Amino acid sequence: MTEGVEVHQVQTSIADAATTSVARSRTSSMQAVETDPGSEEPDQQEEASSSFHSTGGAEDSSGGPVAPDGGWGWVVVAATVLVLAMTLAFPSCIGIFYTDLQNDFKASNTETSWVPAIMMAVLHAGGPICSVLVECLGCRATIIIGGILSGLGMVASSFAQTLVELYITAGIITGMGFSLSFQPSITMVGHYFVRRRAFANALSSTGTALGLSTLPLLANYLLSSFGWRGSFLVLGGVLLNCCVCGAVMRPLGAKPKMEAKAGQMNNRQLKTNCLSITQEREGLKGRLRATLSTVMPFLRRHMAFDLLCSNPYFCAYALGVSWMMLGFVVPLVYLVPYATAHGMEQDRAALLMAILGLINITVRPATALVFGLPRFRGSHNFAYLFAAAVLTNGLSNCICGMAASFPVLLAYVIVFGISMSLIGSLLFTVLMDTVEMSRFPSALGLISIMESIMFLLGPPLAGILVDSTSQYTYVFFACSINGSTAGLFIMLSFYWLDRQRCREVKSSFIHKDINSLKPSTKMTIDCDYSPVPFIRDSETDV
């Protein structure tokens, strides 16, 4: 009877413990893939600030500084807002120049759509290059280099005589500058905030909304005043302000560790000498082995391919977000051509883009305040909210496909803008909750490369669809299917992984608690009863 009561109490405690353990499952699964201390060297102060605990006011066990969750961090957030406004939102204003570029170069929809496609693809594909520069130069210098590249690229694109030259200048050079600017900015926000990270990320994401609301109006004004060439020249000067934003990205201070660094240098020299000796002995086989031994740590550090196998949450999130990006930005590129093709004036079509930006400016700070409340801090349900926003965003494209009147497109912009705001507010927050902060730059670089492939394919595929059907409606229906399936995939994947984690926790608790009951039962028997001596009966044996 006593054993039955104890087992019942154990089973009731297992359910409570499993619920709390699943809430921490995504971060606990990351500990198994934590980087070896000797595999990365914190040469920069930004690297030293990437590992910390969630409590402020003290240093972590590795000697690195703890995020202040305020102070100069708010200046970093303000600078990140401006950087995102000038980088992530910039490809959307290319739609304002879409018709002029098409008429000037006598190009088809497919050929013209490669300009924003290459820009967005390079913007996200430059993650590993950005990670290397951040490790060598730091976030501040990398952002300044990105601002210079993006400004020079747009200035050079104003002198382009062919679409190929425009692909190189506006697409590759400007896109690479955007990549070197926005990714270190997001990383710096993650370094400065832990407890208020969801609030800081949501607040910094308003920069995309700021760009969406101002850049289309500015581009439309410049187009009517100076043409597309003069507009690109002026916008190139605007993009140079990323250098100013990068200058205020002050890295967190860290205690110098000269002895540790000297030991790391000695270990590196010993490894280099050993590699050279083995190369001489083994010949070509040794060289190939040495090359692989250097390539694999590089991929682990800057591209995080190991997380795809060891962290199922990150794998599901990366696949879902990458699939979502195939059609996520296509409506921003084709909304203005779709409206003008159905008789709407250019100014009213540009006004729709401005309204989309204003909705983002209104909703994103509100979501930042809500996610910054104490009840939401440390919540692990952001992934489901993010998936629901992706699903809503995908289904909203059906509204745009119904009609091309201003009231219908206005309703579409409102629904699309609200869901887009939630996606932008939670995109980096969910990623930071899924991986260790020390692996965040490499994880962001890998997701950026996966997204870049989709960004490169999305607008051209939509252009092929328009050229073959002569209608923009099918583009929005295709984007609706893409977004809704991506949202369902993320939601169902995280739900299944949480259920699996819950079963594992329950089974481990049952096994542990049953084993703990066995010694106590044996002790009770030994205390209450004494063994009866066994007397052999010779007659019975016979």
CA proximity to 265, closest of 36, 34, 35, 38: 38
* pTM exceeds 0.95, yes or no: no
> What integer pLDDT is reported at residue 440 of this predicted model?
79
User: What value does the mean pLDDT take over residues 296-304?
Assistant: 66
So what's the pLDDT on residue 396?
Answer: 92
Average pLDDT over residues 33-60: 39
pLDDT at position 284 is 62
Mean pLDDT of 319-329: 90
492: pLDDT strictly greater than 90: yes
* CATH code at 69-252: 1.20.1250.20
Higher pLDDT, 5 or 235: 235
Most trustworthy range by pLDDT among 10-14, 133-137, 193-197: 133-137
Q: What pLDDT sits at residue 498?
A: 87
Averaged pLDDT for residues 86-108: 85
Of 32-46, 346-360, 401-415, 501-515, least confident by mean pLDDT is 32-46
CA distances from 170 to 151, 218, 234, 436 (A): 10, 18, 14, 35
Asked whether residue 476 carries a pLDDT value surpassing 70, the answer given is: yes
Q: What is residue 541's predicted lDDT score, i.e. its pLDDT? A: 42
Give Cβ neighbours of residue 395 (< 8 Å, ≥ 6 apart): 480, 483, 484
Q: Of the given ranges (53-57, 317-321, 436-440, 511-515), which has the lowest mean pLDDT?
A: 53-57
What pLDDT was estimated at residue 159? 92
> Which part of the chain is CATH 1.20.1250.20?
69-252, 303-510
**Residues of the chain above pLDDT 70, percent:** 71
Of residues 509 and 263, more confidently modeled: 509
CA angle 351, 357, 360 (to 5 degrees): 145
Q: What is the gyration radius of the CA atoms in the chain, in angstroms?
A: 28
pLDDT band at 232 (very low <50, low <70, confident <90, very high): very high
Mean pLDDT of 270-287: 54
- Rounded to whole angstroms, how far apart are CA atoms 203 and 176? 25
pLDDT at 292: 62
Contact status, residue 84 vs residue 207, Cβ threshold 8 Å: yes
Reported as a pLDDT band with limits 50, 70 and 90, residue 287 is low
Q: Report the alpha-carbon distance of residue 251 to residue 140 in Å, rounded.
A: 8
Nearest of 55, 34, 127, 23 to residue 435 by alpha carbon: 34
Percent of the residues in the chain that have a pLDDT greater than 90, as a whole number? 19
505-525 pLDDT, tens digit each? 787 777 666 666 555 544 444
Evaluate whether 112 touches 105 at the Cβ level (below 8 Å). yes
Query: Does the domain made of 303-510 have the CATH classification 1.20.1090.10?
Result: no
Most confident listed range (42-46, 374-378, 432-436, 493-497) = 493-497
Residue type at 352 in one-letter notation: L
Q: Which residue has the higher pLDDT, 37 or 352?
A: 352
Residue 43's nearest CA partner among 148, 163, 133 is 133
pLDDT surpassing 60 at residue 304: yes
Mean predicted lDDT score pLDDT of the chain? 76
Which DSSP string do the residues of 59-105 spell out, in sequence order?
Answer: --TTSPPPP-SSTTHHHHHHHHHHHHHHTTTGGGGGGGGHHHHHHHT
- CA 484 vs. chain centroid, Å, equals 19
Amino acid at site 375:
R
Q: Which of 299-308, 388-397, 493-502, 532-541 has the lowest mean pLDDT?
A: 532-541
Query: What are the tokens at 96?
Result: 């304002």
Instruction: Give the pLDDT score at 521.
Output: 47
- What's the whole-number mean pLDDT along residues 87-106? 84
